[in-house]
Structure 1
Amino acid sequence: MQMTNRSLTRTTPEQLGIAAKQVIAFLDDVGKHKSELHSFMLLRHGQVAAEDWWAPYAPELPHMLFSLSKSFTSTAIGMAVHEGIITLDDAVVSFFPDDLPGDVPEHLGAMQIRHLLMMGTGHDEDTMDALIAAEDGHWVRAFLELPVPHEPGTHFLYNTGATYMLSAILQKASGQSLMDYLTPRLFKPLGIENPTWDTCPRGINTGGYGLNITTEDIAKLGQLYLQRGLWNGVRIMDEEWVHEATRKQISNGDGGDSDWAQGYGYQFWRCRHGIYRGDGAFGQFCLVMPEQDAVIAITSGTGDMQAIMNSVWDHLLPGFLPEPIAEDESSVALGECLAKLHLEVPKLGSKSMLEAQISGTRYEIEQDRTEEAPFPLKNLCIKFDKDRARLDFKLESEDSITLGREHWLTESTVTIEGKDTRTAGSFTWKSQDELILTLQAIETPFCITLELHFVDDAVTIHSSYNVGWDKVVTVHGKAVN
């Protein structure tokens, strides 16, 4: 294995015994199923065999991991156990004596760190909503106040609040936040630069979500686990922890064809074919394939994560061969295929006579349904130029984004829900009075589509997301200048 701290070594699929035609078949299949991949990186024997990003996504951009963050939290807990800071048998309540309910229920008192790790806390529903709803922002106390109807360790329930509690426990036991703890132990040794992680109102890293890193950084975590905790010959993690974290710790279903029913470890899912993974909502994956000595990192914006895994099993798995192979015509074809990957820009009609009339006009949005909208505009103004436009708008504050005329422009950073997010924009005309704006937040899975219908001095706006928001919200606005 050859790698540096900053980047993994690149080579060809054939040198690593991977058939290029199978990689092409995988890419064709995810396209056929309309799985919106944003990036893909395939490693074998510690080297990158194939990689690419669907423009306007790019290698240097971090991507929201959602629940794939959990596997990094698990890694921190494993390191803390190895250092003797905590043990898996420690009772959760022992870390928070000042935040406990008056009488500690039996099941809450029996809950241990291992139960948080295996999603076997005994709760009946994910606790995360209750934590976020806590008016005083005290997520730990909110967790400890919830009923625990089942004996810990006997009932699997995917529970993001449990992972937050792992972060809170680590901070309590080590005196460092999860981010600060992992920086010298994981991020720096692996060359993971500039990671960011959300925090709760009291400054504790969210643990179960909120980590933002690049695709290559995801692949590095998978490679570390594949190497059973070694990195460049140095032990980063205890080998026994790797085994325990990635084996089945609790049953989560009856197996079958679902990769959510093969068993759960310590913040890792078991998969079919002897594979395990960390994953996050809308298709963020770190697939570790011990039998093939391979790792696959994927980011995407999809509502069907199983379809992506099925494409991996059906097309990439048969492509792993025991020895290097000769290049053939499919080797050239793969390079051409990867070079062309991009997200399609809507192209319905490049211009409208209406542009001159509405350019620079500000529209105030009626507020009756604004809060329901996925993109809650308060006002907007579009200024058209030859091959681009600028959308000025207000959400929480005034902002703007440049839009390419039927092509992506990636010049803008937009503040959405308090976060600065790099955003690619494009526009096209559906008809002479119907304008389509596409805003692709390229550090996230999300794409916002705004359909604007202009009639006289009024505009009707239909707003929708590609994933995570299953309805179209319609609002109305009036010209004010």
Structure 2
Amino acid sequence: MLNTDVSLPRKSPEELGISPKNVIEFLDGLKAHNIELHSFMLLRNGHVAAEGWWSPYAPELPHMLFSLSKSFTSTAIGMAVHEGILTLDDAVISYFPEDLPDVVSSNLAAMQIRHLLMMGTGHDKDTMGALDKAEDGNWAKAFLQLPVVHEPGTHFLYNTGATYMLSAILQKASRQNLLEFLHGRLFEPLGISNPTWQTCPRGIHTGGFGLSITTEDIAKFGQLYLQKGVWHGQRLIEESWIDEATGKQISNGNGGDSDWTQGYGYQFWRCRHDVYRGDGAFGQFCIVFPQYDAVIAITAGTSDMQAILNCVWDHLLDAFLPEPVEEDEYSYNLKSRLQELHLEPPQFEEKSEQEARVSGRIYTLEKNELNLDSLRIEFEQDRASLLLERGEGSHQLSLGRGDWVTIPARLFDRQERQVAGSFTWKTPYTLLLTIRGIETPFCLTYEVQYNDEDSLEIDHRVNVSSAPTDPIRGRASLE
């Protein structure tokens, strides 16, 4: 039985030859650019040197990885290759004879597993939209029906549907889904507990997104790759696979200042500075620095992912020193900064006379893009109880008065996840509700304008979207 330590070992930045001043500058750079991080862990020589969570986010909470899930799917394929379960030369169509189109084009026939891995399937647009719209829920069939415009292997296109196909192929070849396949091979050895992964309508893990694990789990995954697949003396992944998966397999641009044009491997991105990474929407990162024996794991809620990487390059590349250093004034500053990280709930006016007039009233809402049917807020001394009714059910949330209150809810998707909420009065008639899905990148803001006791208007927004939204109007129900 493999000896597993649940937690990574810790040492001070100074012991690991990391400048605390640079880490502070990294934190300052994030703040200056208004980048919302939820957590980060900085590793060197196999030890955690610095780590922080912006409360109400917390170390024990899993976080949605979005496309960082792809790197885990790739890892499963690599393991399956070395176990002889499949090969990279296998034709994709060979696994789905019952789902093929009436006419199989030469490009579709030529598509191999390696082309799925390198995002070189030959499609001219991401297939995920078509998969999601498949009325029968058969995503593999929907994928195979789409035109393959380019010769596979010649054209890069980021294609989440391709990663789903890797998951579907693995399940057919191994008779295990992704979670089952990776459990004893990856998650258990690394001490990754209770990973969850979304599935398609037919129960196949989505592959290209949908995995949720903790920040430290992300860090362990990066450290395993940095160690060329060896964990506690046992090989989990073949070194040749790691070299292949993290190397450039296909061109995705002409380089330059973008970290999305430096080349693509097998579900890993090449970066500037001879670095590679797995990443996911809204700022989920596993960044590996082979030349510095370092890893950075990040979770976030931002639309500007390049800004995060720029802060890493600008401030942390120079943090790696050749020898340990002595503690100085920056050392103590960094310790306090990491302990005090938080996302402050909005705070304007503590109370309003309007509370007594509207507390407990049910407001029926006009048809809206959020599919909300009604809203009710009941105010207490230091909390408010928010009830949102939707066609599929109700969502009951607790909100702190200028503070976070955390409870489990299904507000952000069908899975119950921890949600932190707060409220404050911007004006005597304008109530601001802030709701954070603290296992997700998402933060919802509802600005409730009471026109009088009988009618209201809600402006709403999501932190990672700049798309315009229409206000939601509602009227008090007759009691």
Shared fold (TM-score greater than 0.5)? Answer: yes
Q: Which residue of 1 aligns with 2:427?
A: 431
Matched, 1:300 2:300: yes
- Name the CA distance, whole Å, in 2 between partners of 1:187 and 1:329: 39
Q: Which residue of 1 aligns with 2:444?
A: 448
Matched, 1:467 2:464: yes
SS at match of 2:219: helix
Matched, 1:385 2:380: yes
Query: What does 1:350-369 align with in structure 2 at a 5 Å threshold?
Result: 350-367=350-367
Instruction: Give 1:13 deviation, angstroms.
Output: 0.3
Query: What does 1:272-291 align with in structure 2 at a 5 Å threshold?
Result: 272-291=272-291
Q: Deviations over 1:182-207 (max 9, x none)?
A: 00100000000000000001111000
Query: What does 1:123-272 align with in structure 2 at a 5 Å threshold?
Result: 123-272=123-272
Aligned residues: 474
Q: Which amino acid aligns with 1:424?
A: A
Larger deviation, residues 340-349 vs 306-315: 340-349
Q: Which residue of 2 aligns with 1:43?
A: 43
Q: Which amino acid aligns with 2:294?
A: A
Q: Which amino acid aligns with 1:328?
A: D
> Gaps (5+ residues) in structure 2?
none
Matched, 1:105 2:100: no
Instruction: Give 1:347 deviation, angstroms.
Output: 1.1
Q: Deviations over 1:390-428 (max 9, x none)?
A: 111212212211111111111342343322121000001
Q: Which residue of 1 aligns with 2:474?
A: 477
Q: Which amino acid aligns with 1:82?
A: H
- Name the CA distance, whole Å, in 2 between partners of 1:36 and 1:295: 20
SS at match of 1:71: helix
- Name the CA distance, whole Å, in 2 between partners of 1:100 and 1:242: 32
- Name the CA distance, whole Å, in 1 between partners of 2:201 and 2:400: 38
Q: Which amino acid aligns with 1:148?
A: V
- Name the CA distance, whole Å, in 1 between partners of 2:402 and 2:355: 15
Matched, 1:397 2:355: no
Corresponding residue to 1:417 among 413, 418, 421: 413
- Name the CA distance, whole Å, in 2 between partners of 1:185 and 1:411: 34
Q: Deviations over 1:235-285 (max 9, x none)?
A: 000010000000000000000110000000000000011100000000000
Instruction: Give 1:473 deviation, angstroms.
Output: 2.7
Corresponding residue to 2:455 among 458, 466, 470: 458
CA contact (8 A) 2:138 2:202 kept: yes
Q: Which amino acid aligns with 1:383?
A: E
SS at match of 1:451: strand
Q: Deviations over 1:374-404 (max 9, x none)?
A: xx32111111111111111212212211111
Q: What TM-score, normalized to structure 1?
A: 0.97
SS at match of 2:445: strand
- Name the CA distance, whole Å, in 2 between partners of 1:124 and 1:299: 30
Query: What does 1:289-368 align with in structure 2 at a 5 Å threshold?
Result: 289-367=289-367
Q: Which amino acid aligns with 2:28?
A: D
Q: Which amino acid aligns with 1:409?
A: V
- Name the CA distance, whole Å, in 2 between partners of 1:333 and 1:207: 41
CA contact (8 A) 1:260 1:269 kept: yes
Instruction: Give 1:451 deviation, angstroms.
Output: 0.5
SS at match of 2:418: strand
SS at match of 2:75: helix
Larger deviation, residues 337-346 vs 297-306: 337-346
- Name the CA distance, whole Å, in 2 between partners of 1:468 and 1:248: 31
- Name the CA distance, whole Å, in 1 between partners of 2:5 and 2:221: 12
- Name the CA distance, whole Å, in 2 between partners of 1:479 and 1:420: 29
Q: Which amino acid aligns with 1:429?
A: W
SS at match of 1:390: strand
Instruction: Give 1:85 deviation, angstroms.
Output: 0.5
Instruction: Give 1:469 deviation, angstroms.
Output: 5.8
Instruction: Give 1:471 deviation, angstroms.
Output: 2.2
Instruction: Give 1:4 deviation, angstroms.
Output: 4.4
Instruction: Give 1:15 deviation, angstroms.
Output: 0.5
Q: Which amino acid aligns with 1:438?
A: T
- Name the CA distance, whole Å, in 2 between partners of 1:86 and 1:398: 46
CA contact (8 A) 1:402 1:412 kept: no
SS at match of 1:15: coil
- Name the CA distance, whole Å, in 2 between partners of 1:79 and 1:402: 45
CA RMSD of aligned residues (A): 1.0
Instruction: Give 1:430 deviation, angstroms.
Output: 0.8
- Name the CA distance, whole Å, in 2 between partners of 1:303 and 1:261: 18
Q: What TM-score, normalized to structure 2?
A: 0.98
- Name the CA distance, whole Å, in 2 between partners of 1:377 and 1:422: 20
Query: Alignment identity in percent?
Result: 64
- Name the CA distance, whole Å, in 1 between partners of 2:465 and 2:284: 14
